Structure 1
Amino acid sequence: MMSYPTEDMKGRYISWFWIIFNLGAVIGSLIPLGQNIHKVAGPVTDGTYVGFLVLTLIGAILALMLCDVDKVQREDGSKVIMMKNPSWITEFKGLFETITSAPWVVLLFPMFFASNTFYTYQSNDMNGSQFNTRTKALNNTLYWLAQIFGAVIVGYALDFAGARRSVRAKGSFVMLIVLTMAIWGGGYAWQKDQPTREETAEKDFVTVDWTDGGKKYVGPMFLYMFYGFYDAAWQTCIYWYMGALSNSGRKAANLAGFYKGIQSAGAAVFWRLDGLKKPFDTMFGATWGLLGGALLIAAPVIWMKIQDTVPLEQDLKFSDETVADVAGAQGVAGQAQPEAVGAKETAKEVV
């Protein structure tokens, strides 16, 4: 989704991925909702886990049907920039080159780290502790549905043809700041009045049911949906930022590798904090503070390093391919390609 599309379609490719990705989550949350719709306490049924296993197996089989990257050709005739003969050594070298060639990319790492940390507070400390079994399932369904809407809105906005890509990058950054302050500010207004972790652990604690309505349920329900929308906006923007830094499949894969590794590290830290029974207010504050701080640190990259386009010769530095390999029959810009492209010719000369 970062290296296959042309530069003007990356936002919608990410959007489509996020829609499909979260459609799986919607189905996954509908299963326990349907099976536990009359259940207000206790764990979900065994059938819930069987359903998850079946879906996972189907996904694994479908993955075998993916088209090989070297057979992918874009509408303009160009091909995906990749490594012809990748190995463990070239992949580790690629990770090292990603950092050494553009050391400022580390400023995005806090955003990577924060990108899954909010799940802990949202799923365990809010939804898991305050609501009963069937209401938690309903909340999850609405959460993932909100992600789909968020992906559509943000993904297509990032491809808005009426503004240069560098302008769209700045606009998306401002949007993330506004959403972080508005949605998590609303979360603070709700969280400060909620029972503590110790109170929710008491046997006589009464969890919220969707029939409670009004301020007790409807308000938190919409807040939880906005959390889902926020997640989609955050993740879609990060993928788009990485895709805007390069059109090379190899470099995009390296950036995605850093992203998923650092993202998982952040999630592990916050799940551990939750396992240590840190107060709900602490978990909320740490999450909100990390998100805000990550945006400030990433600002120079988003504001100054995202270009309106990435030159082909810049991307080819990260692969063993030549212009002839990726330009395709139609040429890079839809122009006729020279009959013979020598290895010494630069991308600029060919384009």
Structure 2
Amino acid sequence: MPSSSFVRRYNSPLVQVILLGLVCLCCPGMFNALSGLGAGGSMSSNVALTDAANGALYGCFAIVGFFAGSFTNTVGVKTTLTIGSVGYAIYSAAFWVYDRKQVSGFVIAAGAILGCCAGVFWSAQGSIMMSYPEEKNKGKYVAIFWSLFNIGGILGSVIALALNLENEAGGVSTGTYTAFVVIMIVGIFFSLSLSPPSRVVRPNGTQVAVAKSAHWTHELKGVLLLWKEWRMVALIPAFLASNWFYAYQFRVNAVYFSASARALNDTMYWALQIIGSLSIGFLLDYQGLGRRARGLVGLGVLFVVLMAVWAGGFAFQLTFDNSYNNPLGWKDSGFGGPFVLYMMYGLSDALYQTYLYWLMGAMSNDPSLLARYAGFYKAMQSAGAAISFGLDAVDIPLRWECLVCWLLVFVSFPLIFLVANKVTETNMSVDEIAAAEGVDGSDISDKHSNSFVEVSEGKPQYNLA
């Protein structure tokens, strides 16, 4: 029947990841656009206030993120996403209030509220994005999600650009904040449209495992066990680095460019994120190579691109300092070079984070475990962001901020290699492989002579070479 066909398609992993992307388009995507405008879009003199709000945001994010996986597993991914998305609308509304009434306390409080909401939001998001797809599609699904997510950044930047095209002052118009709040509220309603995980069926006929609510002591034990998993510990520098550079990059956008140029930079920053994510996502799912080989090739590409971009960024940073007070407009001479560099910052961000999501997705298919992975990742990521925004708030020389960003990314690569080098060809159990191939489990064992590999929580998984 047509209706049942519609239901099956609606409950497919692809449609659910698209809906997830739309939620993130409207909420964190618009938040990124607001942040990317520099100083939350406000006058550059309020950089300290925005840094304080971001410090509260990422500090709370880091604390909540460690336990977010347990919250997600207990409450459920759909409810968790809805709760988390509310925080983004509150944060954007706080800047609207500040623009009208100059209430700085609300901005900082909203940052703390969003930190708590975002901690659980991204745990649920990671669980869906990494556990719903078939293993051969994990890179592509991350890329699809990341593209939709960053369309939010583009949309927000285009709105800001349209509303501030002739605005050469430091801050954006009040209407910019109003538009952002409305779109974020739409995102809250999108979160309600997601199907429960129990209804999601992959194209190969396998169902998504449903994370069952466990006693809080079991969940706490699961969180603590992540600190004993060498792969997650090895990835900590990468997790810290993955958002560390935002404070520096957004500060450069706020200091060096006029309002209209900042909006244009922001638009292309998120546009290049889409290109970067799609490129590496399809590379990581290329079936002509084994999964481990794809991971290592992708890591090599990642290293070359990021080192080149940060070398160029450091050379650019040596041309000005914190006291720069002659904002460059998009019509001014000399705009082209910094504009291209800022776009490449967006490209490298997408490459780095898409790769990390794919790598974690290659470590397990268990939604409950992946929710903890995502929470741990975002907690460490936010801890790094909190530190970097704190450093930015005390106005250390921008060249040192740039150098720290570059070195932290560089140091992460040898440890990422250790994890990528241990990627197995599958995390599926024999029963799951048999169900997907429509054969008996014993036939799978006869067909493949490889041994089981041990993964978290003692569950054996079949390692197909």
Please indicate, yes or no, whether the TM-score normalized by the shorter chain is above 0.5: yes
Q: Give distance in 2, aligned partners of 1:243 and 1:56.
A: 28
Map 1:7-46 onto structure 2 (within 5 A): 7-46=135-174
Q: CA deviation at 1:40?
A: 0.9
Letter in structure 2 aligned against 1:261: A
Contact 2:161 2:263 in 1 (8 A): yes
More helix by share: 2
- 1:335 corresponds, among 411, 414, 439, to 439
The answer for the alignment partner of 1:56 in structure 2 is: 184
The answer for the alignment partner of 1:116 in structure 2 is: 243
Q: Give distance in 1, aligned partners of 2:218 and 2:187.
A: 29
Q: CA deviation at 1:252?
A: 1.1
Q: Indicate whether 1:129 and 2:255 are aligned.
A: yes
Map 1:250-329 onto structure 2 (within 5 A): 250-303=368-421, 305-312=422-429, 327=432
Q: CA deviation at 1:90?
A: 3.3
Letter in structure 2 aligned against 1:221: F
Q: Give distance in 2, aligned partners of 1:64 and 1:118.
A: 33
Contact 2:261 2:330 in 1 (8 A): yes
Q: Give distance in 2, aligned partners of 1:223 and 1:88.
A: 47
Letter in structure 1 aligned against 2:411: G
After superposition, the Cα gap between the structure-2 partners of 1:59 and 1:87, relative to the gap in structure 1 and judged at 3 Å, is: farther
| TM-score, length basis structure 1 | 0.86
Q: Give distance in 1, aligned partners of 2:315 and 2:296.
A: 29
Letter in structure 2 aligned against 1:37: L
Letter in structure 2 aligned against 1:117: W
Root-mean-square deviation (Å): 1.9
The answer for the alignment partner of 1:67 in structure 2 is: 195
Q: Deviations over 1:135-173 (max 9, x none)?
A: 001100010001011111111111111110000111111
Q: Give distance in 1, aligned partners of 2:339 and 2:200.
A: 43
Letter in structure 2 aligned against 1:135: A
After superposition, the Cα gap between the structure-2 partners of 1:147 and 1:104, relative to the gap in structure 1 and judged at 3 Å, is: closer
User: Could you list the runs of 4 or more consecutive aligned residues of structure 1 that deviate by over 6 angstroms after TM superposition?
Assistant: none
After superposition, the Cα gap between the structure-2 partners of 1:37 and 1:295, relative to the gap in structure 1 and judged at 3 Å, is: same
After the TM superposition, which of the residue ranges 221-230 and 291-300 deviates more from structure 2? 291-300
- 2:335 corresponds, among 217, 226, 233, to 217
Contact 1:158 1:168 in 2 (8 A): yes
Q: Deviations over 1:34-56 (max 9, x none)?
A: 11000111311111111111111
Letter in structure 1 aligned against 2:256: Q
User: Helix, strand or coil for the counterpart of 1:167?
Assistant: helix
Letter in structure 1 aligned against 2:342: Y
Q: Deviations over 1:246-297 (max 9, x none)?
A: 1111111111010011111100000000000010001000100111011123
Map 1:41-190 onto structure 2 (within 5 A): 41-100=169-228, 102-124=229-251, 126-190=252-316
Q: CA deviation at 1:131?
A: 0.5
Letter in structure 2 aligned against 1:158: L
- 1:235 corresponds, among 344, 349, 353, to 353
User: Helix, strand or coil for the counterpart of 1:116?
Assistant: helix
Q: Percent identity?
A: 37
Q: Give distance in 2, aligned partners of 1:20 and 1:7.
A: 21
Rg larger in structure: 1
Contact 2:247 2:392 in 1 (8 A): yes
After superposition, the Cα gap between the structure-2 partners of 1:87 and 1:50, relative to the gap in structure 1 and judged at 3 Å, is: farther
Contact 1:114 1:263 in 2 (8 A): yes
The answer for the alignment partner of 2:132 in structure 1 is: 4
Letter in structure 2 aligned against 1:207: P
Q: Give distance in 2, aligned partners of 1:120 and 1:87.
A: 38
Contact 2:165 2:260 in 1 (8 A): yes
User: Helix, strand or coil for the counterpart of 1:54?
Assistant: helix
User: Helix, strand or coil for the counterpart of 1:2?
Assistant: helix
Letter in structure 2 aligned against 1:49: Y
Letter in structure 2 aligned against 1:23: I
After superposition, the Cα gap between the structure-2 partners of 1:347 and 1:103, relative to the gap in structure 1 and judged at 3 Å, is: closer
Q: CA deviation at 1:336?
A: 5.8
Q: Which has the higher contact order (CA 8 A, sep 6+)?
A: 1
Q: CA deviation at 1:207?
A: 1.1
Q: Give distance in 1, aligned partners of 2:276 and 2:205.
A: 32
After superposition, the Cα gap between the structure-2 partners of 1:333 and 1:97, relative to the gap in structure 1 and judged at 3 Å, is: farther
Letter in structure 1 aligned against 2:247: T
Contact 2:365 2:428 in 1 (8 A): no
User: Helix, strand or coil for the counterpart of 1:9?
Assistant: helix
Contact 1:76 1:334 in 2 (8 A): no
Q: Deviations over 1:99-138 (max 9, x none)?
A: 43x33320011111111011111111x2110011110011
